[in-house]
Amino acid sequence: MKSKKVMKINDLIVETHVGLERQGPGSCEATLRALSFVDGLNKNSRVMDLGCGTGGQAMVIAQNITAGEIIGLDIFPDFIEVFNANAKKLNLQDRVKGLVGSMDDLSFAKEGFDLIWSEGAIDEIGFEKGLNYWNNYLKKDGFVAVTSASWFTDERPAEVEKFWTAAGCRLNTIVRNISIMQNAGYKLVAVFPLSENCWTDNYFVPRTAAEKEIAEKHPSNKTVEDYIKDSKYEVELYSKYNRYYGYVFYIGKKI
Ligand code: SAH
């Protein structure tokens, strides 16, 4: 008799997100707005998208810069498989390539990139650690563009703080993050918050639909039920407290 497969949280995360256009809050408009602050890219430029998921922003970047190579890196092989299929679908496979790897253990030559991009992922390793570590891989005058969950106000609702801390993320204020960015060796180029629809229409709505399908596929499964409950709570928190926190785009230039 086969043993019953235990559903792991990571499997659930992948199953929920692999079919979505983006695996976190964001939008094509916000990606293009952030890209508009980056100059000097040409056909020899090298771009890296860390925590690239299935390529929601890498493909937008690739289609909107003249040329150059884009490497997407993600820890989940299933996302990279879809990333590479998406690149192929858009006929970008010659210059857009997805690799499996961890953004805190890069195996590239130092000072080799003109732009490091990362949406909705840097908080996995920490804003400060990420910016400091990735700085090593940028050429001088290279750009970094990341989104990070940030406090909009000095007031920090305890419920929100508790949720993010449990998820292993520490939210900073925008002012604090700007100072972290400057101390990590970048000149601040631009900062702007993501709009509410980046979270709701572009992320929570498709994610909730995917979760509904997963619940139907795995009936009476406690792990699935708890996962979906947590996810619903995240949506409720955001709807209740979104004036206090959200994702913010930080664009910096390596000094
Ligand atoms: N940038 C994508 C995905 C954001 S979700 C988008 O905006 O749509 C966060 C991503 O970071 C996930 O794809 C997750 O697999 C990836 N990730 C988490 N920890 C990672 C790590 N240590 N190294 C590389 N990728 C990681």
Hey, which of 15, 28, 31, 75 would you mutate to test ligand 1's pocket, going by the most ligand atoms within 8 Å of its Cβ?
75
Q: Report how far apart the first and last C-alpha atoms of the chain are (Å, whole number).
A: 62
Domains of the chain in sequence order: 23-157+167-195+243-254 (3.40.50.150)
Those residues whose C-beta lies under 8 Å from the C-beta of residue 190, and which sit 6 or more positions away, are 34, 37, 249, 251
Span 93-142, pLDDT tens digits? 999 999 999 999 999 999 999 999 999 999 999 999 999 999 999 999 99
Low-confidence ranges of the chain (pLDDT < 70): 1-7
168 alpha carbon to ligand 1 midpoint, in Å? 14
Verify whether ligand 1 is closer than 6 Å to residue 99 (CB atom).
no
For helices 9-17 and 222-241, the axis angle rounded to 10 degrees is 60
76 alpha carbon to ligand 1 midpoint, in Å? 8
Distance CA 171, CA 197 (A): 20
CA torsion sign for 210, 215, 221, 225 is positive
Return the pLDDT at 66: 74
Return the pLDDT at 5: 52
Return the pLDDT at 6: 58
23 alpha carbon to ligand 1 midpoint, in Å? 8
Rounded to the nearest angstrom, the gap between the alpha carbon of residue 68 and the centroid of all alpha carbons in its chain is 21
Return the pLDDT at 67: 77
